[in-house]
Amino acid sequence: MSKKAWGGRFDEEPNALAARFSASVDVDSRLAEEDIQGSIAHANMLASIGVLTGADVKKITEGLAQILDEVRAGTMTWDASREDVHMNIEARLTERIGDAGARLHTGRSRNDQVATDMRLWTRAACEKTARHVDELIAVLIVRAHQTRHHLMPGYTHMQRAQPIRLPHHLLAWCEMLERDRGRLDDAQKRMNESPLGSGALATTTFPLDRQETAKALGFARPLRNSLDAVSDRDFLVEALAALANCAVHLSRIGEELVLWSSQEFGFVQMSDAFTTGSSMMPQKKNPDMAELVRGKSARVIGDLVTMLVLLKGLPLAYNRDLQEDKRPVFDAFDTVDDSLQILSGALATANFNKERMRAALRDGFLEATDLADYLAARGVPFREAHHVAGRLVRLAVETGRTLPELSLVELKKEHAMFEGDVSKLFDPEVLVDLRDVEGGPAWSRVQEALTDSMKRLRSRGTEAEKAAAKFGVVLT
């Protein structure tokens, strides 16, 4: 980086190590399209207030369009001595069109320029990630339809607890993802304000029209305070928090797929495309993609912590520390986008073992709560009914039987209110459909939930069947 770049204040060339240490173009070149977009809006506004001529703007916009073509084609040469994406593009533009390129920076600082670029990039990134969330929801909806007759144990404390439908479990994942998407939407709304025109920290003496540039770039309004506009990155914290929450949810899904694909569970067989073998043990089929989704969540959480620590001690306004905001943001979005698509593919191609899931319902005394409810429905105080059911479980354990294998005589010995109709509680299909409460696992409620999920997707412009078909799964 030449001392000439900084004008007459400096007599010495920067130290070579300092120049390398401070260069960021290897990371922020990813903002090239947003930087060009902001520059075009700025140039048009400068023309509208009489600072640039129409001829200048024509040269600038044409030159920037050519540079954009180079960026997209991968032929743009990034020069680390020019430090960052802004200086690289400005220098390339000036090389192409002369003094008009040098006039583009009138009334603008790299401080408001980079803040604008990051808001533009992150806004678009939120939209992209939200689409990937919707695709995973779509896959889960279709798989829920396909497995509507699959019954399985629901768990608490990793102990078999009560019978549910597999679609009910898949829809629980959908609800987690719905909230993740909502957080991304909320973050996107709050970041949709323009820093452009804030200058280094105190705007400029040029009569800039910040409303014009905000509108041109699709922002709802300019940020209200120039100091705040260039110095805060809370919009990135909010986006990263949404991503970290999503990554944690994806990790939990990955964990359940790891458990379910173990021989101990045997609930699911992952496809060859999303598993790996062992270099030593030929029998192994490892759920590595689910494990990596689980593991990569740590990186996203780390990215959020990085941003919080980066900001926690910064005085207003801009400080060079903020150069370090980009890498964690880019990494978090890339990691979550990849994880969402990996899980979409893995779940679309997984084979759920209906027989193994149903067999797991036979052990664990999953009918115990319903025996207590049976008595409570007949006027027995629930706490007493709970004790009765507990004694029956103990009897079954001591005699090496299941609850359905206990006789009616044995049931009545514990409480006289048991009658012959209690036997219906030993059919898991009946048990599940008795839970006909809003939000429950009865098939009628699951159908309602599936319909509602599909409507929510459709309201956002996504058809579940089409989105799922991208991953090779079809609604049946």
pLDDT at 22 (0 to 100): 79
Single-letter code of the amino acid located at 52: L
Q: Considering 157, 279, 407, 459, which one is annotated as catalytic?
A: 157
Q: Are residues 355 and 260 in the same domain?
A: yes
pLDDT at 13 (0 to 100): 77
Q: Are residues 347 and 200 in the same domain?
A: yes
Domain closes at, from 327, 359, 391: 359
| Residue 156 maps to a domain | yes
Please give the DSSP secondary-structure letter assigned to residue 221.
Answer: E
Residue 122 near residue 329, CB atoms below 8 Å: yes
pLDDT at 1 (0 to 100): 46
Say whether 407 is catalytic: no
Q: Which helix (H) or strand (E) holds 193?
A: strand 193-194
Q: Are residues 83 and 115 in the same domain?
A: no
Residue pLDDT tens, the chain, 476 long: 444 455 666 677 778 888 788 789 999 999 999 999 999 999 999 999 999 999 999 999 999 999 999 999 999 999 999 999 999 999 999 999 999 999 999 999 999 999 999 999 999 999 999 999 999 999 999 999 999 999 999 999 999 999 999 999 999 999 999 999 999 999 999 999 999 999 999 999 999 999 999 999 999 999 999 999 999 999 999 999 999 999 999 999 999 999 999 999 999 999 999 988 877 887 778 999 999 999 999 999 999 999 999 999 999 999 999 999 999 999 999 999 999 999 999 999 999 999 999 999 998 899 999 999 999 999 999 999 999 999 999 999 999 999 999 999 999 999 999 999 999 999 999 999 999 999 999 999 999 999 999 999 999 999 999 999 999 888 77
Please identify which residue in the block is written with the tokens 């996504």. 462
CA dist., res. 144 & res. 172, Å (int): 11
- 366-390 b/e (C-beta count within 10 Å ≥ 16 → b): bbbbbbbbbbbeeebeeeebbebbe
Residue 60 near residue 51, CB atoms below 8 Å: no
Q: Which residues pair with 286 in a beta bridge?
A: 276
How many C-beta atoms surround the C-beta of residue 183 within 10 A? 20
The tens digit of pLDDT for each residue in 181-210 reads 999 999 999 999 999 999 999 999 999 999
**Domains held by the chain: number:** 3
pTM, to two decimals: 0.93
| Residue 443 maps to a domain | no
Q: Considering 2, 262, 278, 423, which one is annotated as catalytic?
A: 278
- Reduced to 3 DSSP states, what percent helix, strand and coil does the chain have, rounded to the nearest 5? 65, 5, 30
Q: How many CA atoms lie within 13 A of 419 on its CB side?
A: 6
Residue 378 near residue 417, CB atoms below 8 Å: yes
pLDDT at 18 (0 to 100): 82
Among the listed residues 151, 163, 316, 310, the one whose alpha carbon sits nearest the alpha carbon of residue 240: 310
**What is the extent of the structural domain holding 20?**
12-106
pLDDT at 17 (0 to 100): 82
CATH number of residue 385's parent domain? 1.10.40.30
Q: Are residues 218 and 324 in the same domain?
A: yes
Q: Are residues 57 and 152 in the same domain?
A: no
CATH number of residue 51's parent domain? 1.10.275.10
Q: Are residues 160 and 93 in the same domain?
A: no
Q: Are residues 374 and 351 in the same domain?
A: no
- What are the start-end ranges of the E strands in 26-172? 151-156, 159-165
pLDDT at 6 (0 to 100): 53
| Residue 287 maps to a domain | yes
The tens digit of pLDDT for each residue in 403-433 reads 999 999 999 999 999 999 999 999 999 999 9
Say whether 145 is catalytic: no
Domain closes at, from 434, 451, 471: 434
CATH number of residue 118's parent domain? 1.20.200.10
For 419, phi and psi rounded to 5 degrees?
Answer: -130, 180
pLDDT at 244 (0 to 100): 98
Torsion angle (degrees, nearest 10) of CA 372, 378, 383, 387: -50
CA dist., res. 183 & res. 220, Å (int): 19
Residue 432 near residue 151, CB atoms below 8 Å: yes
| Residue 3 maps to a domain | no
Q: Are residues 22 and 45 in the same domain?
A: yes
| Residue 439 maps to a domain | no
Q: Are residues 128 and 102 in the same domain?
A: no
Domain closes at, from 325, 359, 393: 359
DSSP-derived 3-state class of residue 161: strand
Q: Are residues 334 and 194 in the same domain?
A: yes
Encoding tokens for residue 245?
Answer: 């929450």
Single-letter code of the amino acid located at 192: N
CA 395 to chain centre: 48
| Residue 64 maps to a domain | yes
Encoding tokens for residue 454?
Answer: 């599909």
Encoding tokens for residue 178?
Answer: 């719905």
Q: Are residues 137 and 21 in the same domain?
A: no
| Residue 313 maps to a domain | yes
Please identify which residue in the block is written with the tokens 């802004």. 86
- Cβ neighbours of residue 54 closer than 8 Å, sequence gap 6 or more: 47
Encoding tokens for residue 315?
Answer: 């005085």
| Residue 429 maps to a domain | yes
Q: Are residues 118 and 202 in the same domain?
A: yes
pLDDT at 475 (0 to 100): 76
pLDDT at 7 (0 to 100): 60
Q: Where are the alpha helices (DSSP H) in 147-165?
A: none
* Angle ∠(35,246,459) on CA atoms, nearest 5: 80
